[in-house]
Chains A and B, each alone.
Chain A
């Protein structure tokens, strides 16, 4: 008698486990992690709004498909660009950006996946950076204030390149902000929000750098 009851309980338990496993296996039940969001499609046609809340969710198995997307802030790292400034100096500009998927459905429709998104971001951020840098002097991309010029006027001795004596009008932070504003407007059509764009590295291109070193040596020696 006792053994029979145990058998029944065990039986129910096993059946339940099998059911749950089957539910997960067929995809009827699925888990969305805190870091993910999901778009449900039925034969390729989107069903309802993207699911952004994490937890256990249900869909019709075999018919509906779940597409997972990141919910967190993602990286974008630009390829360094060789860009001439307004005063015809060639520099390498390396930008970095943070972005996230705010409209998973639009994201799925317009760019498909993260790799697609990265390449669209390449396009819009690189061109915005190029526009911003070519419209300004080299010092604008480097400095943020005229502080050192003012201190030079106060008579502190410093080694100055001629082009460094230009006063800045915009400055690096403003320049960055301009790039961000411009890209921010373009991103929503991909379901993307650009959180931040920053100029990471600004450097002379190789031969200018060598010349620069040489020139600096000369200035230092004179």
Chain B
């Protein structure tokens, strides 16, 4: 039986097994060590993303920061690294919730009135919605100074927004003072958050929709229409005013000037007349007879040409009737 020589006996098989087992036992320490190293390596190597900073704690104690890249640490919970996104800009929404951001961002149709309803300075109610953007400027403070930084940000933002809106009127918040409110609330939020040492930097605060509450809206719109109507009326009135008034004013001015000219003329004339009379008076005083005669003649010279009909009568004649048929038609004519 040829093939029997090649077939190992059971003893042979056991021997081979023993030998292999021995090999394995010899390698066991190395394998164990290798496993430890593998497990160790898994906890040793860590990476920090480009927008992150790692906060390293050894036995819970803060020992430093690690920059983006691949790093090593002591494993088995001795060193702990918490990556913090320091470049990312986070957003908190008040009175609205984004459901799905995108080209056409969808907002939740639900209302968050307890967040958004607030009193204005004139004690009216407004529905104010806004967002706050912030980033982490100090990861150490963020982790170790305040337990719920996000809650702190939300609370502070509501506190500040309500306080500011409480200092403006409805109209101001709705229209002209929006940017002022944005700006002031950013500053004030930053101040309070720095005081809490949250390590958060407010990037921007923006008012979104500001509306009167639903129930008041129709009335509000009516008032706005009325206001516009008022504006329109005022403008029209001004237009009419501008058409008429300047013209009338010009005319008045002209009349006054004319009157003044006339007055001046009259006065000058009168003055001239008076002077002439005074000159005559002086002449008269020098020689009353001659002057009297001259005046008489001058007056007659002036008067006679203007008379239509002239009758020259002898003063000695007692009656004029025999001579003249007065009033008769076709009588004496010149």
Q: Which residues of A contact B (CB under 8 A)?
A: 3, 6-7, 10, 31-36, 53-56, 70-75, 77, 96, 98, 138-139, 142-145, 147-148, 158-161, 163-164, 172-173, 195-196, 198-204, 209-210, 212-214, 216-218, 220-221
Contacts and interface: CB of A to CB of B under 8 A. Distances in A.
Contact of B166 (A10, A55, A172, A216): A172
Nearest to B113: A203
B215 A148 contact: no
B97 to A, nearest CB: 18
Contacts of A214: 215
Given A213-B213, A214-B215, 8 more contacts: A55-B61, A56-B61, A144-B163, A147-B121, A198-B155, A204-B119, A220-B216, A221-B222
Interface residues of B, number: 55
Interface string B33-71: 100000000000000000000000111111000000000
A75 B151 contact: yes
A138 B59 contact: no
A31 B59 contact: yes
A72 B125 contact: no
B144 A164 contact: no
A96 B62 CA distance: 30
B122 A10 contact: no
B18 to A, nearest CB: 18
Contacts of A53: 61
Contacts of A203: 117-119, 125
B125 A213 contact: yes
Of A33, A53, A138, A145, most B-chain CB atoms within 10 Å: A33
B143 A35 contact: yes
Interface stretch (B192-200, B287-295, B322-330): B192-200
A203 B171 CA distance: 19
16 contacts: A3-B26, A10-B32, A34-B57, A54-B59, A54-B61, A56-B60, A144-B167, A147-B121, A148-B122, A159-B170, A195-B196, A200-B159, A201-B114, A201-B162, A203-B119, A212-B125
For the complex of A and B, 8 pairs with smallest distance between CB atoms: A217-B219, A55-B61, A33-B60, A164-B123, A56-B59, A54-B61, A213-B215, A220-B219
A210 B113 CA distance: 14
Interface string B191-224: 0100111000000000000001101101110110
